[in-house]
Structure 1
Amino acid sequence: MIGSLDLILRLVIWFLLTANLSVANIIIGICVALLLPHGKTALGALKDWLRVLWEIIVAIPQAYLEAFELIFRPHMQENITMERAKPRRSPGLVFLDIFLITFTPKTIVVKYHEEGWYEVHRVQRSRKR
């Protein structure tokens, strides 16, 4: 049986995609969440889940600030960096990490490397020389 946090994550994604909270859609969402394949990885510690969820909540105002900054002071410099993923992450936590990085307008995860690295595309203000 999949962990309850993974089930909740799958249901939240289902409801965000369908934008429908009818009884039929809830039943379909539960069936889809249970039928999706899952690995034999250990469930991430509750502390890790809570930390990532808190970081997402904190990222919401940051995303608005970055959006206004991009509107009023355009960023012209781009670069791709490699960021180390935290060790021993379940697939659900990896998804939330990628979501957190991609949520803000200045960054997007281009690729996740199985060795534990995120390839992140960033836009920045060009430095005056």
Structure 2
Amino acid sequence: MIGYLHIILRLVIWFLLTANLSVANIIIGVCVALLLPHPRTAPGAVKDWLRALGKIVVAIPQAYVEAFELIFRPHTQEYITRERVKPRRSPGLIFLDIFLITFTPKTIVVKYHEDGWYEVHRVRQRQQ
């Protein structure tokens, strides 16, 4: 099951990068997704993948809300925090975590530390 999720994730990334859904591009994308090396680490549990994908679905409306907040009430305070990576995360799940944090307009991952931390840049409204 996890192998299919890796292939689907690679295909989605391919189609986002190429922005082309022609037959030739689909064939090339499937070939690239299958020929890329498979992860050597232990795969994440299906439950973790589904939970991460559920968080991304929830983040879509949150991103729109945050975008409108930034338009109508500009945020002037910035700060960088460190967030711990959840234990036993596969590289694919770490990528989805970084994507989830970066997807919303008020946050972006500045750096991923191999020892299990993300540096996250955030903006917020000035406290009155």
Q: Does 1:86 align with 2:97?
A: no
1:69-113 CA deviation, whole Å, 9 max, x = no partner? 001110000000000111111111111000000000000000111
Residue correspondences, number: 127
Query: Does the residue aligned with 1:40 lie in a helix, a strand or coil?
Result: coil
In structure 2, stretches of 5+ residues that fail to align are none
The TM-score with structure 2 as length reference comes to 0.94
Q: Does 1:33 align with 2:13?
A: no
Aligned-residue RMSD, C-alpha: 1.2
Distance in 1 between the 2:55 and 2:82 partners? 20
Distance in 2 between the 1:38 and 1:76 partners? 43
Pairing of 1:52-63 with structure 2 (within 5 A):
52-63=52-63
Match of 1:67 in 2: 67
Pairing of 1:17-32 with structure 2 (within 5 A):
17-32=17-32
Match of 2:126 in 1: 126
Query: Does the residue aligned with 1:109 lie in a helix, a strand or coil?
Result: strand
Q: Does 1:100 align with 2:112?
A: no
Query: Does the residue aligned with 2:56 lie in a helix, a strand or coil?
Result: helix
> Offset at 1:18?
1.2
Q: Does 1:77 align with 2:77?
A: yes
Distance in 2 between the 1:38 and 1:80 partners? 33
Q: Which runs of 4+ in 1 moved over 3 A?
A: none
Distance in 1 between the 2:44 and 2:22 partners? 31
The TM-score with structure 1 as length reference comes to 0.93
> Counterpart amino acid of 1:120?
V
Distance in 2 between the 1:114 and 1:38 partners? 20
Distance in 2 between the 1:49 and 1:122 partners? 25
Match of 2:15 in 1: 15
Distance in 2 between the 1:60 and 1:13 partners? 17
In structure 1, stretches of 5+ residues that fail to align are none
